[in-house]
Amino acid sequence: KPAGVLSVPGRGDVTFVADLLRRQKVVADDEKLLVVHRLDRGASGVMVLARTADAQRNLSAQWNNRTVEKVYLALASGRLEGSGEVDLPLVVDREKSKVRVDRKKGKPSLTRYRAIEHLGGQTLLECLPVTGRLHQIRVHLSAIGHPLLVDSRYGGGRRVMLSSYKPGYRPNRREEERPLVARLTLHAMRLSFDHPSGAGRVTFEALPPKDLRATIAQLRRLNASPRSNEERV
């Protein structure tokens, strides 16, 4: 799923995954695709859709039973060391259209993480959500003080600009600078589950898209002292 595309039909004239597949002629115009799980609109990566009701029931059961391995790539703010887990219950605050930690009313929620690389004062993480709560990775990383680098709802920035990182950056006088990335720095990299046909365990992967690759590459080139998060995003 590209960033900016909805998992399911929503309000307004916004493209959703099944519609995109039909436009690209991956599936026939009259073929019905059934939802198994969702990705946030601002996230990219692997999604599974079912082509039959039986397949949908089988896959949904695997998601509910937590036998699906989900691996996300997250570019988080600040320096986070090693590996660990965030075990904090979450509840949806519908009045504020957000999810928050609530130790009394929240549902059990567990995210495991591993630091892959430190990049210009930020951290590239591999995240494995054991549970599948709404906005889980986003809220858990924010709760430990390392929100996604771009996630204005939960404490991250709104965008990443090359001029904030590149020493001696010279703006183009003809056009306004475009951000390297201006959406959630979160990518569903890999899914593993049992094929509903009984054919065994299957794994699907998606490489990070261009905007995330460009941001990671630029941060790798950074050799100056990192500035504060407020200056970067």
The β-bridge relationship of strands 49-50 and 69-76 is unpaired
Give the whole-angstrom CA distance, residue 113 versus residue 145. 14
The β-bridge relationship of strands 44-45 and 34-35 is unpaired
Reply yes or no on whether 102 is catalytic.
no
Give the whole-angstrom CA distance, residue 142 versus residue 62. 28
β-bridge partners, 73: 126, 187
Pull the structure tokens for residue 226.
């990192």
Q: Which among 40, 54, 87, 93 is annotated as catalytic? A: 40
Residue 197, Cβ density class (10 Å: 0-12 exposed, 13-18 middle, ≥19 buried): exposed
Give the whole-angstrom CA distance, residue 229 versus residue 233. 6
Which are the catalytic amino acids? Answer: 40
